[in-house]
Amino acid sequence: MPLNLYGHPFSSYTWKALIPLYAHQVPFEFRSLEEVSIEEAQFVQDASPQGKFPVLVDAERTIFEATSIIEYLALHYLPDAGLVPSDPDASLQVRMMDRVFDNYVMNLMQEGVNEAIRTSGQPDPAVMAEVRRRLERTYAWLDHWLGDYRRPSQVTLIECAAAPSLFYADWVHRIGEQWPRLKNWRAHLLAIPAVSRCVEDARPYRPNFPLGAPERD
């Protein structure tokens, strides 16, 4: 019985779970929530405390939260792929950076998106200014961090978290020339075949982005 991943092609956290599956050609079936049955949609709603996706189903096992899905894949399907280092200290650093991208990039970006949705595309300038200010602080921190980051030959949990969060964060607040390492790394991430596949699969949904989707990506 193949793995089943429930999610949406335009969802950043769905991308996060898809990237290692695509990168390592793990057999699975993607179940887009636009196409599933009422029963499957209800299953996803019931799988986690807030009905969030993605959700991974492996026979009798159900895993929710994108990071946990990647950890599950690393443990049961891709133990030698380097998604999470086996060394405890190295794995701590990778897991810490995963939280940086989820909490200080993805979730900050989502605050701007939520404000635009709440106001029907007319977000409060003060709210957006605060989102941009906080993103800029993160951008500066990441640009400095990248000075010592050695890009791996394969995707790790870091790349899985960074690619979708930076993709959409740049739409909310452009990663400018003052952060050259981060700008370059975002371009590098989008060129990874597993990531570019997510970008292309999501392209039809771009009109749904409440702040206006740029054409540059």
Q: Does domain 88-193 have CATH number 1.20.1050.10?
A: yes
- Read off the tokens for 216: 């540059």
pTM over 0.75: yes
pLDDT digits (tens, 9 = 90+) for 38-97: 999 999 999 999 999 999 999 999 999 999 999 999 999 999 999 999 999 999 999 999
- Give pLDDT, residue 1: 66
Q: Which of 40, 84, 90, 88 is nearest to 62 (CA)?
A: 40
**Average pLDDT score over residue span 126-137:** 98
Question: How many whole angstroms from its chain centre is CA 35?
Answer: 21
Angle between helices 180-191 and 125-145 (to 10 degrees): 90
User: Could you give the CA distance from residue 139 to residue 145 in angstroms, rounded to a whole number?
Assistant: 10
